[in-house]
């Protein structure tokens, strides 16, 4: 199970729906070493703990998107139930619903992975900003160099008189 929570493995479990990063109920069930059906039962028994910004069920179009784009989720095609997805807060709330020691350990791992994921996103934004700043500076320097090259070319063309013999056109006499 720890392999599933490595950062690279965790990133493949995170999806974005409705502007939120979420985990699927079936992936969480695997992590918690329980059945998806049992996880959903516990959530339904405690719905007051899961407002829409903690957990929501996917609509048919969203479910179809997963089926078409992720081979590992093709078994959803045969399921009549819509998958539940959990935001970071929803995953944290699961620890109050699923009280086994395994659930607590997995929740701690997931919370750490979400925190690391958030840090990576912030660093990515900072890096993107720095790259854009460098790009602007390079663009200015490039334009400056091009203008200087153009000036030099214009000066050479206008400054020097032509040197050498002029050939006159010779007419051939027959």
Q: Using the predicted structure, report yes or no on whether residue 8 has a pLDDT greater than 50.
A: no
- Compute the distance between CA of residue 152 and CA of residue 157 in angstroms, rounded to an integer: 9
Give the residue-averaged pLDDT of 10-32: 84
- The model's confidence at residue 158, banded by pLDDT at 50, 70 and 90, is low
pLDDT score for 56: 94
- Compute the distance between CA of residue 140 and CA of residue 135 in angstroms, rounded to an integer: 9
In tens, the pLDDT along 66-120 reads 888 888 888 888 888 889 999 888 988 887 788 778 777 877 877 787 788 778 8
* Burial group, residue 10, by CB count within 10 angstroms (0-12, 13-18, 19+): buried
- The model's confidence at residue 161, banded by pLDDT at 50, 70 and 90, is low
SS3 category, 51:
coil
pLDDT score for 85: 93
Backbone angles phi, psi at 91, to 5 degrees: -65, -40
On average, the pLDDT of the chain sits at 79
pLDDT score for 93: 86
Q: Enumerate residues 6+ apart whose C-beta is below 8 A from 75.
A: none
| Range of weakest confidence among 21-25, 42-46, 82-86, 154-158 | 154-158
CA 30 to chain centre: 24
């Amino acid at each position: 199970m720890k392999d599933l929570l490595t950062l690279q493995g965790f990133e493949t479990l995170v999806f974005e729906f409705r502007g939120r990063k979420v985990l699927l109920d079936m992936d969480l069930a695997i992590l918690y070493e329980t059945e998806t059906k049992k996880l959903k039962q516990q959530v339904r028994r405690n719905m007051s703990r899961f407002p829409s910004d903690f957990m929501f069920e996917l609509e048919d179009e969203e479910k179809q998107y997963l089926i078409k784009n992720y081979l590992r989720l093709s078994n959803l095609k045969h399921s009549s139930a819509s998958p539940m997805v959990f935001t970071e807060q929803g995953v944290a709330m699961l620890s109050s619903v699923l009280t086994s020691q395994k659930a607590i350990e997995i929740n701690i791992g997931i919370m750490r992975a979400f925190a690391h994921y958030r840090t990576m996103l912030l660093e990515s934004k900072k890096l993107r900003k720095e790259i854009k700043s460098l790009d602007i500076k390079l663009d200015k320097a490039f334009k400056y160099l091009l203008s200087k090259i153009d000036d030099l070319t214009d000066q050479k063309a206008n400054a020097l008189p032509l040197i050498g013999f002029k050939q006159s056109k010779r007419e051939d006499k027959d």
